[in-house]
Chains A and B, each alone.
Chain A
């Protein structure tokens, strides 16, 4: 039986919910997922990276403990698709999870690059580490396409000197493909 003399200094609380941060990350993951699909169709380096991954390779990137997620997979014919936000029922070979929403915010507001976030142990990887390295290299290229140079330089390990993403016309095409999902 609990003694009441110290109960005035005791309370129990249920952990709260994050509001707009989760919404922001959900949108970012949707956009990045579709951008990977677009990059896999347009960019030779990304094509090569996916070609070296196993057939029907599917990976997810999500936030612990309960999402949001993005799932990207490669078909038997080697075509890369954004497979939505729900990992349920999908045969995922590589799960990459950011440990918490604040770590995801640091990453998706480009205060930390992907490489720095990994170095600071903010992600866990369930799957083959070489596959995770390939995904991170793909994410770096996608960020070069998506972001203006001064932001992309914060987000990627090393900004490429020459890259297709630097050309305005290709970048416009990339955005159109990302938004339309083609």
Chain B
């Protein structure tokens, strides 16, 4: 087993998953010394009745709950200021984010503000700039996430916040909340999950604790994503994917950004397409590039990707290439079962080819030290053509 010369890993997240997990909320809030939570969510979750299910979980607790169900797709500073005023004036002492993506980003940013002063929002941007623990923060994920919900990251108004204090104290994964909405949303979050966990597993900052989160995240996505896209009512599969999203956020928070994450995020933002789909397209090519540059641990990847039988029956020197082939085949499967909705090439995702150099310029420098500008352009070329 691999032990790095040095590593850091911090994961303060308690996970409560399964049947009637939501009903544990009053007890868990009590252990966090919280008595009056503010639930924040979006119209979609409210419209699907998820807020009512969450409120029902508090029966008999005597707790008063605030609900704000108007988080838009791009929350702004004005909204955070107004939520800060509500939180402060009405005496709330915990935040519950119900949903994913913008809801979680807004909740994390709101937590920075309510745990200090509104000015802390500017000071807290950057890496490890939040210096003290924040207020109790609970996350109730749906499958319509961004893949960053459990992570140490928040993205807000062009700023990136990175601190382990931003990670939720508690994640409650309840099958009533994790029903699949549409193939694209489920695939987007799950491919970010796959990318983050695969890249954590082969990262230069690989460590045993990040591996313990990355491994089941990879297995769950490989075992369940195709089935859930085929049959969105597969509640066990949906629950497994929601768990995978959660684990990958923890693994991703304990390792550096990888090639596919960096490039896929940049393309998604520049072209306004699903970053998850972009990451999924780039992932096999990024791993192949790492392999060709002597990246370590690629052969180990076969075990979580394909399971113990295939790992055992594949010769050691062939395992890395087999892992890459499995990732490529997985992309093809998703493309086929989604009727072409989940693209398997950047060309298919309608990414303009001429943007390559601009995006590469913005991306090179993050994460892996192995890959330079030329490598990025080569990965782009392969991902564009699917070659």
Q: Which residues of A contact B (CB under 8 A)?
A: 1-3, 5-6, 8-18, 22, 64-66, 99-103, 106, 120, 122, 124
Q: Is the beta-carbon distance between B20 and A13 smaller than 8 angstroms?
A: no
Q: Is the beta-carbon distance between B89 and A8 smaller than 8 angstroms?
A: no
- Which residues of B sit under 8 angstroms from A66, Cβ to Cβ? 60, 62
Q: Is the beta-carbon distance between B62 and A65 smaller than 8 angstroms?
A: yes
Q: Is the beta-carbon distance between A10 and B60 smaller than 8 angstroms?
A: no
Chain B 45-87 interface residues, beta-carbon cutoff 8 Å to A = 55-70, 79, 81-83, 85-86
- Which residues of A sit under 8 angstroms from B70, Cβ to Cβ? 6, 8-10
Contact of B64 among A15, A18, A124 (CB under 8 A): A15
Cα separation A18 to B27 with both chains bound (whole Å) = 16
Q: Is the beta-carbon distance between B85 and A15 smaller than 8 angstroms?
A: no
In the complex, B18 has a CB within 8 A of chain A: yes
- Which residues of A sit under 8 angstroms from B62, Cβ to Cβ? 14-15, 65-66
Q: Provided the pairs A5-B82, A9-B69, A10-B86 are in contact, do residues A15 and B27 lie with their beta carbons within 8 angstroms?
A: no
- Which residues of A sit under 8 angstroms from B90, Cβ to Cβ? 12
Q: Provided the pairs A6-B70, A13-B55, A102-B20 are in contact, do residues A65 and B64 lie with their beta carbons within 8 angstroms?
A: no
B257 smallest CB distance to A (angstroms): 34
Q: Provided the pairs A5-B82, A16-B59 are in contact, do residues A10 and B68 lie with their beta carbons within 8 angstroms?
A: yes
Cα separation A109 to B68 with both chains bound (whole Å) = 36
A15 smallest CB distance to B (angstroms): 4
Interface size class of chain B, counting residues whose CB lies under 8 Å from the partner chain: 20 to 34
Q: Is the beta-carbon distance between B64 and A13 smaller than 8 angstroms?
A: yes
Cα separation A11 to B41 with both chains bound (whole Å) = 12
Cα separation A11 to B39 with both chains bound (whole Å) = 10
Chain B 66-125 interface residues, beta-carbon cutoff 8 Å to A = 66-70, 79, 81-83, 85-86, 89-90
Q: Is the beta-carbon distance between B60 and A17 smaller than 8 angstroms?
A: yes
Q: Is the beta-carbon distance between B27 and A64 smaller than 8 angstroms?
A: yes
Given A9-B68, A15-B58, A106-B20, 19 additional A-B pairs, CB 8 A: A3-B82, A3-B85, A6-B68, A12-B64, A13-B55, A13-B64, A14-B65, A15-B55, A15-B61, A15-B63, A16-B56, A16-B58, A17-B60, A65-B26, A65-B60, A99-B23, A100-B26, A100-B27, A102-B20
In the complex, B361 has a CB within 8 A of chain A: no
- Which residues of B sit under 8 angstroms from A11, Cβ to Cβ? 66-67
In the complex, B24 has a CB within 8 A of chain A: yes
Q: Is the beta-carbon distance between A100 and B24 smaller than 8 angstroms?
A: yes
Cα separation A61 to B93 with both chains bound (whole Å) = 30
**A-B pairs with lowest CB-CB distance, top 10:** A9-B70, A15-B58, A102-B23, A100-B23, A99-B27, A3-B82, A102-B20, A6-B82, A18-B59, A10-B68
Interface Cβ pair total, 8 Å cutoff:
91
21 contacting pairs across A/B (C-beta < 8 A)? A1-B89, A2-B86, A3-B85, A6-B86, A8-B70, A10-B66, A10-B68, A10-B70, A11-B66, A13-B64, A14-B65, A15-B58, A15-B60, A15-B61, A15-B62, A15-B64, A15-B65, A64-B26, A100-B20, A100-B23, A101-B60
| B contacts with A: majority SS | mixed
B20-41 near A? 1/0 per residue, CB < 8 Å: 1001101100000000000000
Cα separation A38 to B57 with both chains bound (whole Å) = 36
Q: Is the beta-carbon distance between B60 and A18 smaller than 8 angstroms?
A: yes
Cα separation A102 to B85 with both chains bound (whole Å) = 35
Interface centre among B57, B61, B90 (most CB of A within 10 A): B61
Cα separation A100 to B28 with both chains bound (whole Å) = 11
Cα separation A10 to B56 with both chains bound (whole Å) = 18
A75 smallest CB distance to B (angstroms): 33
B378 smallest CB distance to A (angstroms): 48
Q: Is the beta-carbon distance between A22 and B24 smaller than 8 angstroms?
A: no
Q: Is the beta-carbon distance between B85 and A2 smaller than 8 angstroms?
A: yes
Q: Is the beta-carbon distance between B67 and A99 smaller than 8 angstroms?
A: no
- Which residues of B sit under 8 angstroms from A103, Cβ to Cβ? 20, 23-24
- Which residues of B sit under 8 angstroms from A12, Cβ to Cβ? 64-67, 90
Cα separation A5 to B76 with both chains bound (whole Å) = 14
A122 smallest CB distance to B (angstroms): 8
- Which residues of B sit under 8 angstroms from A6, Cβ to Cβ? 68, 70, 79, 82-83, 86
- Which residues of A sit under 8 angstroms from B58, Cβ to Cβ? 15-16
Chain B 236-292 interface residues, beta-carbon cutoff 8 Å to A = none
Q: Is the beta-carbon distance between B86 and A15 smaller than 8 angstroms?
A: no
Cα separation A40 to B55 with both chains bound (whole Å) = 42
Interface centre among B20, B83, B85, B86 (most CB of A within 10 A): B20
Interface centre among A1, A14, A122 (most CB of B within 10 A): A14
- Which residues of B sit under 8 angstroms from A17, Cβ to Cβ? 59-60
- Which residues of A sit under 8 angstroms from B86, Cβ to Cβ? 2, 6, 10
